[in-house]
Amino acid sequence: MAVTTTSVAETCAAAQRAARELGAAPTETKDAALGAIARLLGERVGEVLEANAADLADERAEGLTPALRDRLALSAERVAAMADGVRAVAGLDDPVGEVLDRKTLESGVELTKLRVPLGVVAVVYEARPNVTIDCAALTIKSGNAIVLRGSHYAERTNGALAAIVREALEEAGLPADAAVLLAGGGHEDLAELATQEETVDLLIPRGGEGLKNALKDVATVPVIFAAAGNCHVYVHADADLEMARRIAVNAKTQRPGVCNAAETLLVDAVVAAEFLPGALAELRDAGVELVGDERARAAAGGVEVGPADEKDWDDEYLDLKLAVAVVDSLEDAIDHVNLHGTRHSEAIVTRSDDAAARFSAGVDAAVVYTNASTRFTDGFEFGMGAEIGNSTQKLHARGPIGLRELTTYKYVVHGDGQVRE
């Protein structure tokens, strides 16, 4: 069983020991482990789905929203997609050992700046068991050990997936403790993990604002928050309205329970009466609950739109619900996004290059789109193979966290006897 029965401190110390060995492993060995993970996912898909069915049937999962149940649920296709993601990571260039800079200093010493692993990465995540595989694949390839702490209601599924990873590591001749899974405990265990300064080099929480705030209060290790995604689609006055309709519907409905799904639709007043009736009707027919400001409701053309309150502009619904507002200008749209967004992914639909450039420059977000759905903010879509999460911060990573975001660098200096005068 991959779930640890030792203390958090002992588990993190074991991961640190494994990280030293993994960090020095050649690319071929790491890729062999990834190949074994992908193969075992295919061979053990039945076991994984059985564990997942038990999690879904457990009383601990009864209170989950439909969107969260969708994030928890696996199918043969989703397991196959995990394996494809692992193979994609294996096919990427190994960042470890990459020379970032090299020069000879005035003293005659040779200075080389090399990319190196971080060491031990801890990830706390909710609901989505595919995170277990995605994170493990990225950390193995980048030479880091990983400490995983998933949701208690996904315990069986995460355990089955982590066991596959550990078996694959051993098969490739690498330490199994390069991937360890902590049982989903309470706030005390979470706080203990967040304070392992001697062994944990980076903590990445994947979850909502509640998880983010809980860790902010206690964390003493470095943290990159892969947190909430209150994402917007703005339909500019000069938009292709058919394109805008497709983008708005896709951004909301393609998979509503994920952080890059749109939660708010902003429409310029110039096109609101023409655009909103058809777009809102399609969203309603897709099962989306609509709330809006007074002008959006007035322009809805008979489509039922409930009144939005102040909380709606800040909510990450992670469900089939959308807030709609009419704005008077590009500047008003930018101000709305910056006031209510979470710096994740924002989109403008427009035929104006000037408006697109002003929106991209004015909006403070990790990813800004022109004429495309916010749903593309994803490590796999960005050519990273997978992602550990999407950072809404500015240091040291922003947007999808892939292989290079899981490294740091060191300076290696060679001399022939120089001393400083």
Q: Encode pLDDT of 37-82 as tens digits.
A: 999 999 999 999 999 999 999 988 888 888 788 889 999 999 999 9
Count: domains in the chain: 2
Q: What is the mean pLDDT of residues 173-196?
A: 89
DSSP code of residue 366: S
How far CA 362 is from CA of 36, 197, 227, 308, 314, in Å, comes to: 45, 37, 22, 25, 19
Residue range of the domain that includes 134: 8-226+388-414
Query: In this structure, are 279 and 210 located in the same domain?
Result: no
Q: Which residue(s) pair with 231 in the sheet?
A: 262
| 359 assigned to some structural domain | yes
Distance CA 305, CA 295 (A): 11
Cα–Cα nearest to 302, from 322, 280, 272: 280
Each residue's pLDDT tens digit, 240-286: 999 999 999 999 999 998 899 999 999 999 999 999 999 999 999 99
| 406 assigned to some structural domain | yes
Q: Round the average pLDDT of the chain to a whole number and report it.
A: 94
Residue type, 70: D
Query: In this structure, are 150 and 174 located in the same domain?
Result: yes
Query: In this structure, are 308 and 337 located in the same domain?
Result: yes
| 290 assigned to some structural domain | yes
CATH number for the domain spanning 192: value is 3.40.605.10
Distance CA 280, CA 209 (A): 29
Query: In this structure, are 317 and 259 located in the same domain?
Result: yes
* The pLDDT of residue 316 is above 70: yes
Query: In this structure, are 165 and 263 located in the same domain?
Result: no
Query: In this structure, are 57 and 145 located in the same domain?
Result: yes
Q: Which residue(s) pair with 101 in the sheet?
A: 113
DSSP 90-157: HTSPP-TT-EEEEEE-TTS-EEEEEEEE-SEEEEEE-S-THHHHHHHHHHHHTT-EEEEE--GGGHHH
| 19 assigned to some structural domain | yes
Query: In this structure, are 76 and 175 located in the same domain?
Result: yes
| 370 assigned to some structural domain | yes
| 381 assigned to some structural domain | no
* pTM of the predicted structure, to 2 decimals: 0.87
Distance CA 14, CA 176 (A): 10
Query: In this structure, are 264 and 406 located in the same domain?
Result: no
Each residue's pLDDT tens digit, 95-118: 999 999 999 999 999 999 999 999
| 420 assigned to some structural domain | no
The region of weakest confidence among 22-31, 185-194, 218-227, 238-247 is 185-194
* The pLDDT of residue 4 is above 50: no
CATH number for the domain spanning 319: value is 3.40.309.10
Query: In this structure, are 42 and 173 located in the same domain?
Result: yes
Give the pLDDT of residue 66: 83
DSSP 401-414: --TGGGEEEEEEEE
Query: In this structure, are 145 and 253 located in the same domain?
Result: no
- Which residues, at least 6 apart from 289, have a Cβ–Cβ distance to it below 8 Å? 306, 320, 321, 322
The region of weakest confidence among 6-10, 137-141, 245-249 is 6-10
